Amino acid sequence: MIRDITIGQYYPAESRIHRLDPRVKIVCTLLFLVSLFIQNSLLGYVIATVYLGTVIRLSKVPLKYIVKGLKPIVILLLFTVAMNLFLTRSGEILVHFWIFTITEGGLRTSVFMAIRLMYLVAGSSIMTFTTSPNGLTDGMEKLLHPLNRLNVPVHEVAMMMSIALRFIPILLEETDKIMKAQQARGADFESGNIIQRAKAMVPILVPLFVSAFRRANDLAMAMESRCYHGGEGRTKMKPLRYKGRDRIAYIVTWLYIVVIFVAGRFVPFKLWIF
């Protein structure tokens, strides 16, 4: 069960989106997220859908995968929709029964809110699906490089992230092993109330932490012995360089932003109440 956890899921494939520079993907994702908030009209969401749909098609990631990624937000989604649907009071009343009232404005806000939330998650998961964890940290490091002047240790943070990603599967395996070892000696993780179960976790966490520290110590020594001394004077095996396709992606995304902003705000396009 513990193996089902995957962080920063990556869907390996050969696609135009996969080949893009990680920086492009990070920036364009941010722009896309922003685009969802600078307008609130039907036409705007149609344009966003076209953009997102095209990216998903190009990325060759099955739609099923992306829908699966929406699962964790289902409860949040239902909650927001319900709240907006019943509590917003504006425009004509559409339905009224017992204490519930649905107004035009309520329906509109809740539908748009639902789409917005789903697109937020889908947009950012398409980024993690198409960028390897290492690509992401490299991209972050390069993008945040200017913060170095403010004494933010950008390189170190990126290094920590990539090491953490490397050790996630190792530590998961170790947790599994410790759990089995404790179960073999009669530990019970499955029964009892929450407090009892939380208490049962202690014999797993203590050895796990001890071994994690030991590993960290070993790793630090191995890194030092391979002349690691921070980001200064370091070269890159796989340096990030913008190519033609990256420029095109930037242009397309900026165009999309302009179009969605102008169309979403100034073009009158209404269907019923939306």
Q: Which of 215, 252, 259, 261 binds another protein (CB under 8 A)?
A: 215
- Stretch of 93-101, 107-115, 200-208, 235-243 lying at the interface with another protein (CB under 8 A): 235-243
Using the rule CB under 8 A, is 237 a contact of another protein? yes
| 264-272: long-range pairs with CB below 8 Å, 24+ | 264/38, 264/39, 264/40, 264/41, 264/43, 264/44, 264/47, 265/39, 265/41, 267/43, 269/41, 269/42, 269/43, 270/42, 271/42
Q: Which of 34, 78, 221, 258 binds another protein (CB under 8 A)?
A: 221
**Smallest gap from residue 20 Cβ to another protein (A):** 19
Can you tell me the distance from the alpha carbon of 128 to that of 11, in angstroms, rounded to the nearest whole number? Answer: 8
* 3-class DSSP state of 240: coil
Q: Which of 147, 170, 181, 262 binds another protein (CB under 8 A)?
A: 170
Q: Which residues contact 120 (CB under 8 A, 6 or more apart)?
A: 33, 36
- Stretch of 13-21, 99-107, 230-238, 264-272 lying at the interface with another protein (CB under 8 A): 230-238
Residue number with CB closer to another protein (149 or 229): 229
**Smallest gap from residue 117 Cβ to another protein (A):** 31
Residue number with CB closer to another protein (239 or 244): 239
Using the rule CB under 8 A, is 235 a contact of another protein? yes
**Positive/negative CA dihedral, 117, 123, 126, 128:** negative
**Smallest gap from residue 125 Cβ to another protein (A):** 20
Using the rule CB under 8 A, is 162 a contact of another protein? yes
Using the rule CB under 8 A, is 225 a contact of another protein? yes
Can you tell me the distance from the alpha carbon of 126 to that of 138, in angstroms, rounded to the nearest whole number? Answer: 18
Q: Which of 22, 44, 69, 133 binds another protein (CB under 8 A)?
A: 133
**Smallest gap from residue 7 Cβ to another protein (A):** 13
Altogether, the residues listed in the chain come to a count of 274
Using the rule CB under 8 A, is 15 a contact of another protein? no
Using the rule CB under 8 A, is 175 a contact of another protein? no
Using the rule CB under 8 A, is 71 a contact of another protein? no
Q: Which residues contact 212 (CB under 8 A, 6 or more apart)?
A: 171
**Positive/negative CA dihedral, 121, 126, 127, 129:** positive
Residue number with CB closer to another protein (15 or 132): 132
Torsion of the alpha carbons at 263, 264, 266 and 271, rounded to the nearest 10: 100
Which residues contact another protein by CB under 8 A?
Answer: 132-134, 162-163, 165-166, 169-170, 215, 218-219, 221-229, 233-239
